[in-house]
Structure 1
Amino acid sequence: MVVVICSANAQSKAKKDTTGFVEKSANKTAEIAVKGKATLVDKVYKDKVGPNGQKIYIDRHSKYYWVDKKGHNVYIAKSKLRPKTN
Structure 2
Amino acid sequence: MHTPKHLPLFLIAAAVGLVTSLSGQRAFGQGIEKAAKKVGNATASVAVKGTSAITDKVYKGKEGPNGEVVYIDKKDRKFIVDDKGKKVYLKPNQIHNKPSKKDK
The answer to whether the superposition gives a TM-score over 0.5 is yes
Deviations 1:10-62 (A, max 9, x none): 10110111111001000000000000000010000011101111100000000
Q: Match for residue 32 of structure 1?
A: 46
The structure that has the greater radius of gyration is 2
Letter in 2 for 1:71: G
Between the two structures, name the one with larger relative contact order (CA 8 Å, sep ≥ 6).
1
Using the TM superposition, give the Cα deviation of residue 67 of structure 1 relative to its aligned residue in structure 2, in angstroms: 0.2
Q: TM-score, normalised by structure 2?
A: 0.78
Q: Which runs of 4+ in 1 moved over 3 A?
A: none
Q: Which amino acid aligns with 1:74?
A: V
Q: Which runs of 5+ in 1 are unaligned?
A: none
Corresponding residue number in structure 2 for 1:10 = 24
Q: What number of residue pairs does the alignment pair up? A: 86
Aligned residue in 2 for 1:82: 96
Q: What residue number does 1:49 align with?
A: 63
More strand by share: 1
**Aligned partners of 1:8 and 1:79: how far apart in 2?**
52
Aligned CA RMSD, in angstroms, stands at 1.0
Percent of aligned positions that are identical: 36
